[in-house]
Homo-oligomer: A and B are copies of this chain.
Amino acid sequence: MNDAYEKGLAMRKAVLGEAYVEKSLAGADDFTRPLQQLVTQYCWGEVWCDPTLSRRDRSLINLAMLSVLNRPHELKLHVKGALINGVKREEIREVLRQVAIYVGVPAAIDSTRVAREALSEVDAATPGA
């Protein structure tokens, strides 16, 4: 694995959590590993590691894009990542109100449901919160 892969793996762990990424790597097989490697290098190494945009900026953008793309599984991961990257809960809510206007009400309602599930899971995993 090359340099972009190594940098990308570190960034992916920083945003999505070390436990999640280790589990994902451990569960990979010949069918899924080539895509994982491409994603780690290309998505995380080349783009997320570029400092032109902050990690907070990239999280805001991703919440919006994943809502348009209608990909709830990835959205849930990136809601949790957004909190880690410094996006506040009311800012997530407000991204999704902007989605309502530009992408339509059904996208915003579905994404708000997914985001609330992600926030509940974060709360449940936080002792004393």
Contacts and interface: CB of A to CB of B under 8 A. Distances in A.
A76 B52 CA distance: 21
A99 interface: yes
Contacts of A60: 53, 57, 60-61
Number of copies: 6
A83 to B, nearest CB: 13
Contact of A47 (B39, B68, B98, B116): B98
Interface SS majority for chain A: helix
Contact of A71 (B89, B106, B115): B106
A20 interface: no
A101 to B, nearest CB: 5
Contact of A105 (B29, B34, B101, B106): B101
